[in-house]
Amino acid sequence: MATRLNPYLSFRDNARQAMDFYHAAFGGELTRSTFAELHASDDPAEGEKIMHSMLETPNGLTLMCADTPNGMAYNPGDNISVSLSGDDEAELRGYWDKLTEGANIAEPLEKAPWGDTFGMFTDKFGINWLVNIAGQPQQ
């Protein structure tokens, strides 16, 4: 899989409705997973929140989004990040190493509950980044 660079939107608790709206506007294939499905929260009240959603259109547009857990800050206007994702670990770790110079690392680049390697940071210019290195497919 080629490395992908795309916007990643954050919502407090309406990512499902937002992605349904964008899906109606752009078409394409919409996938989503909840916090409960990915075993990513111990808070039952957050189980149906969207942990990750991706819209891929036939003409190559990709949009990702998620709901923000209650324990994390949510500031409308600051709720967009840049996502780097793919399966080339050396390439993505290289970007991580360069982009995190002077950055505030929110989540270290390490194994995530869903099986991929994931990290989050805010670069020295105030831009939020997500890096996801695809794990081996489960059999």
4-133 adopts what CATH topology?
A: 2,3-Dihydroxybiphenyl 1,2-Dioxygenase; domain 1 (3.10.180)
Predicted local distance difference test score (pLDDT) of residue 56? 96
pLDDT mean for each 10 residues of the chain (139 residues): 90 94 94 90 86 93 93 84 93 94 96 93 91 76
Predicted local distance difference test score (pLDDT) of residue 39? 82
Count CB neighbours of 72 within 10 A. 10
Q: Are 57 and 105 in contact (CB under 8 A)?
A: no
Count CB neighbours of 114 within 10 A. 15
Phi and psi, residue 60, nearest 5°: 95, 5
Predicted local distance difference test score (pLDDT) of residue 71? 86
Predicted local distance difference test score (pLDDT) of residue 139? 44
pTM of the model: 0.77
Q: Are 97 and 119 in contact (CB under 8 A)?
A: no
Q: How many CA atoms lie within 13 A of 77 on its CB side?
A: 1
Q: CA-to-CA distance for 128 and 8, rounded, in angstroms? A: 9
Instruction: Name the residue ranges covered by the structural domains of the chain.
Output: 4-133
Predicted local distance difference test score (pLDDT) of residue 24? 94
Instruction: Indicate the SS3 state at residue 128.
Output: strand
Predicted local distance difference test score (pLDDT) of residue 137? 56
Q: CA-to-CA distance for 30 and 56, rounded, in angstroms? A: 7
Instruction: Indicate the SS3 state at residue 107.
Output: strand
